[in-house]
Amino acid sequence: MDENKKDISNEKGSKGSLFSFLNGLVGSSKNEEKNTPMPESKISRYADSIGQSNYISRDLSWLKFNERVLDQAREKNLNIFERLKFLAITSSNLDEFFTVRLGSLYNYLDYDKERIDYSGLREIPFRKALLSAVRQFCQEQDRVFNEELKPQFKDYKFQVIKIGDLSQSELGEAIDYFDYTIYPMLTPMLYDHTHAFPVLIPKTLIFGVVTDSSRSTLFSEDSETKKMSFVQIPGNLPRFFTIERGDEILFLPIEEIVRHEMKKLYRNVEIQAINLFRIVRNGDFTLEESDDIESDFVDEIKQKIKSRRLGRVVYVEIEPNANEWMVTILQKRWEIDKYNIFVDECLIDYTCLWQIIRHPDFQEELEPVHPPVPPLRLKEKNIDIFEVIREKDLLLHHPYNNFEPVLQLLEKAAEDPDVLAIKLTIYRLAKRSRVTQALLKAAENGKHVSVLFEIKARFDEENNIREAERLQRAGCFVIYGIGWYKTHTKLMLIVRKEGNRVIQYAHLASGNYNEDTARLYTDIGLLTTNPTYTKDISEFFNVITGHSQPANYQYLITSPRDMRKRLIELIRNESENAKNGLPSGICIKLNSLEDRYIIDELYKASQAGVKIKLIVRGICCLRPGRQNLSENITVRSIVGLFLEHARIFYFHNNNEPKLYGGSADIMVRSFDKRIESLFELVDDEVKKHAIHILDYNLRDNVNAYELQEDGSYSKIICSLSQDNQPIDIHKMFYEIEENEMEDINLFPEEKIEIQQESGSIEETPIEEEKK
């Protein structure tokens, strides 16, 4: 392996890596002797199928992404609290994965629908392969926590302890906390022939309690003395009870206290077993839209949210040595098997670590957030934002640039008597949103406010419905989504009267109108008064709110109308240039790459000799570096301090680059199931800035991972011995000055490989490209 790369997968080649990847069954646990590991012959068959496919499984690729996040928890250059943060993130990521992706798989399994994964596996064997891979990941989570993180806790003056570690006085404090705070909130729920199976809340700590009342005279007439009941720990209680011991802080898991005092809930009966577990339910619901989108549809969304809490159980996390009688009943009740049950020998649910990370005593230990810097073309302070945008297009690069210019523009528009109208698409909002407040103020001031509120934004449905109803009551024109499609595009238009003319101000972005996530996600946004942009956006809003069908847009590419088709045309143009010996190249930065049609076109472009550089943060179903398929394609992923969320598309176009930004990834849902947009970057300085962002992403040697042909990822390591300098884009983008924005050629002179129809490869030199 290249000495500048670190293998994070513990893999030794394609087939061997898949053996390791799949052989992580619960049956291999010493605690469950009757469960046997997956037969080696079956592992081999699955591994062969997965490895031979020209596409990487979407779900297995997502697991590899979460593995890269977990790699941050292994990063010794970060302090313990930063590492705990990344471990907590992997756990919340898994919850969403089980809720949505595993839930989606069960929509096929439960209704006998056929599904063939990109790996080539049908739905039943793929379930086993997927859950086996998840199990291996969870075991690595536990290892990182136990072996790499927990031993360092004492150095930072805290510990996560068991109840047996308490002194008598400390135990008294814990018991008092139980008696006065926890006990009144607990409700044992019995399940037997006279009591229905209780509704168990997903993502909540639950005790399964097995009792025997045979020795009690109170239940002597009951023929069945062995009972099972459940005690749910309310989610509004903190996970840890904290105790100060000298200069050290002790974090005692609340379940330790409840288990110790459980006898107070079961008097006069014998407790045979107390087992802690946690469940995740299927939350991937399909909407059957109503004709009346304004009323019935909102009610349907509300009902679907409720059904998410009652969805089928897809995942059970349970402590070791659980009572077999209870586990058997749960398996039958929920129609699950050993693949769905994960034995956790550490903490159940690592999201609880946020309580430690956010403890007031440790705030100074967290790496301080760098204050945002002004956009490269906006150095002056206390200026008229309308005036600035009138003079020049402004590209914002968040979180390095503040989201404040967007908020100021909207807030000033709400108060400005010359502003006539505001139009906006909303997908996700901050909890205390300044965007909502500005729109309410604008409506109060008599301006026309049109808002497309996407209430199908997963897990934000309730908040979006609540905020949309507030705006509607204030007099705003609110559209609740568009039929079958999710509106994911991020567009804003402000109409302002200036003297004898009307000027339109536009904002086009890759990220949400959410000032909270704008501090954590990398995104781009364009502020402009260019009339071609504003005409396109105005037409686009007419499509959304009415029945307009414009013949074409100048600077916008939209879906579901024509995005896949236009991207294929741009890719094919690069292929033709390469075949004709002209300069060519493709560089795309995005979150996910999954659409098979685009992947196939990229494969063809690679075979035509086009150099393709992909920066894909998460899911990537394209397999790079495969002989006679994708030798000219490289894929890297950036995972670090910020969540990479920006989308930038670059096509070399014979030395006249065409660039696009926007909200869309290369996914089936982005092209067929969402209203999306990509916007062309036309201003020379803006294009230069976007190319600069791509260039630094390609040069990063601190946060970057490279996708291998077998589906594994290798960490790019900066080798100082070779006079390399660390390039950490999550720090360097704060330091870039406008005078450093030199012209950059992403595809300098190099030899390219062209695959002939016969399958042979010949080298064709590219003529020297202009800088």
Given this model, what pLDDT does residue 740 score?
74
Total Cβ atoms within 10 A of residue 219: 17
For residue 243 the two structure tokens come to 């105790």
- Residue 490 sits at φ, ψ, to 5 deg, of -120, 100
User: For the packed helices 404-415 and 434-444, what is the interaxial angle rounded to 10 degrees?
Assistant: 20
Given this model, what pLDDT does residue 748 score?
81
Given this model, what pLDDT does residue 2 score?
60
Check: CB of residue 490 under 8 Å from CB of residue 413: no
For residue 681 the two structure tokens come to 């970057």
Given this model, what pLDDT does residue 34 score?
36
CA dihedral 564, 569, 570, 576 (to 10 degrees): 150
Q: List, in sequence order, every residue forming a beta bridge with 341; answer none if it has no partner.
A: 316
Given this model, what pLDDT does residue 472 score?
86
Judge if the upstream peptide bond of residue 399 is cis by omega within 30 degrees of 0. yes
Given this model, what pLDDT does residue 432 score?
86
Given this model, what pLDDT does residue 24 score?
38
Per the annotation, the verdict on 260 as an active-site residue is: no
Check: CB of residue 141 under 8 Å from CB of residue 235: no
Given this model, what pLDDT does residue 11 score?
40
Q: How far is CA 551 from CA 236, 489, 537, 546, 558, in A?
A: 54, 20, 14, 15, 12
Beta-strand (E) ranges in 120-186?
A: 158-160
Residue linked to tokens 């290892």:
143
Distance of alpha carbon 13 from alpha carbon 710, whole angstroms:
7
For residue 758 the two structure tokens come to 């016969």
CA nearest to 556, candidates 393, 676, 394: 676
Q: What is the pLDDT of residues 426-483, one digit of tens each?
A: 888 888 889 999 999 999 999 999 988 877 656 667 777 778 788 888 888 888 777 7
Given this model, what pLDDT does residue 83 score?
96
Distance of alpha carbon 273 from alpha carbon 228, whole angstroms:
9
Total Cβ atoms within 10 A of residue 175: 17
Check: CB of residue 645 under 8 Å from CB of residue 511: yes
Given this model, what pLDDT does residue 569 score?
98
For the full predicted model, state whether its pTM sits above 0.85. yes
Three-state DSSP at 121 gives coil
DSSP per position, 414-453: HH-TTEEEEEEEES---TT-HHHHHHHHHHHTT-EEEEEE
CA nearest to 61, candidates 565, 599, 464, 482: 599
CA nearest to 481, candidates 296, 668, 667, 645: 296
Tell how many helices (H) and how many strands (E) occur in the chain. 21, 30
For residue 392 the two structure tokens come to 């020049």
Output the CA angle 638-46-141, nearest 5 degrees. 45
Given this model, what pLDDT does residue 547 score?
65
User: For the packed helices 296-308 and 461-473, what is the interaxial angle rounded to 10 degrees?
Assistant: 150
- Which of 260, 488, 652, 689 is an active site residue? 488
Given this model, what pLDDT does residue 621 score?
97
Given this model, what pLDDT does residue 9 score?
60
Given this model, what pLDDT does residue 721 score?
56
Given this model, what pLDDT does residue 27 score?
32
Distance of alpha carbon 605 from alpha carbon 607, whole angstroms:
5
The ranges of the chain with pLDDT < 70 are 1-4, 9-47, 215-223, 285-309, 379-382, 456-460, 547-548, 550, 719-723, 749-771
Distance of alpha carbon 284 from alpha carbon 108, whole angstroms:
11
The contacts of residue 443 (CB under 8 Å, 6+ apart) are: 449, 471, 474, 475, 476
Given this model, what pLDDT does residue 374 score?
85
Judge if the upstream peptide bond of residue 188 is cis by omega within 30 degrees of 0. no
- Residue 644 sits at φ, ψ, to 5 deg, of -70, 115
